[in-house]
Amino acid sequence: MKLISGSSNLPLATKIAQYLNIETIDLEISKFANGEKRVWIKDDIAGENICLVQSFDQPVDENIVETLLLIDALERAGARHINFIIPWMGYSLQDKVFRDGEPIAARVIANIISNTYIKRVSLLDLHNSSIPGFFSIPTHHILALKPFTKYVQDNFNLSAAVIVSPDFGGLKRARTFADTLSLELENIDKHRDLYTGKVTPKGLSGDVKDKVCIIYDDVINTGGTVVETAKFLKEKGAREVHFLITHGLFAGDGLAKMNDESIDSVVITNSVHHENLPDKIKIVDVAPVLGESIRAWI
């Protein structure tokens, strides 16, 4: 097997290749003067099994089109099978219809990928665990549970810690994390405005006074929910508030919001590539868990 990376997250793709001890494919990705992407695979890959790595982060639509061009180029160059790792699946938050006239965007993207030369897909910590069912090809839903568990064990005093789910939708994910660490679980009841997206915490299931609160969730988008959650928990008496979030998108002014004094730290994975993150934001590596998802097909 050889690995090929789109332009969205080359550092993570390189780490996956190093972890699996496989070669990377030489390619050139450029743009025509009119803005169209141009893909050129320089290596001979005829008859090879290929691992393609690409996150659908900003610019989301551009990275998706680039991926489709890469898949077509690989097929035309004679690749035998393509295993596709999507560390962050853009459009996955649009997993249901909230208002009449809206699409299920996650299903649209799944259909597009399913109707290419891709053999199987690996997906990391999806917002909705039913999304793999949108694909008509084999999928693997991978969790970042193991690296986050190790981070907590290495960096926190567990006798004072409690796991907090930021909403009812993340309760199952948070409960699994809490059980793994043998910690108590609390849940925040919140309201989301379907038109503005604004989230407002309404209540708390338990007591967090003098506790180190660890919020375990799948994605930070604009960061508004993170700030509101941290303020809410501090108002309830929490000693510290730390966020463990798989996908750090930080859309808009999301990074600036992380400087809010109510937030003690934010830990994300390298599913989305960032340059020059603030000291408050730490990164755990998911290359090993992503690499293991395709080891059987090397």
CA distance 298 to 167: 39
Which residues fall within 8 angstroms of residue 83, CB to CB, at 6 or more apart?
A: 1, 49, 50, 51, 52, 118, 119, 120, 121, 122, 294, 297
Residues serving a catalytic function are: 190
Q: Omega of the bond prior to 103 within 30 degrees of 0, cis? A: no
Strand partners, 240: 212
Q: CA-to-CA distance for 270 and 88, rounded, in angstroms?
A: 10
**Residue 70 corresponds to which amino acid?**
L
Contacts of 119 (CB under 8 A, 6+ apart): 81, 82, 83, 137, 138
Q: Which helix (H) or strand (E) holds 151?
A: helix 145-155
Q: CA 231 to CA 127: how far, in whole Å?
A: 23
**Where does 158-235 have alpha helices with state H?**
171-181, 224-235
Q: What do you get for the CA distance between the two ends of the chain, in Å?
A: 5
Strand partners for 110: none
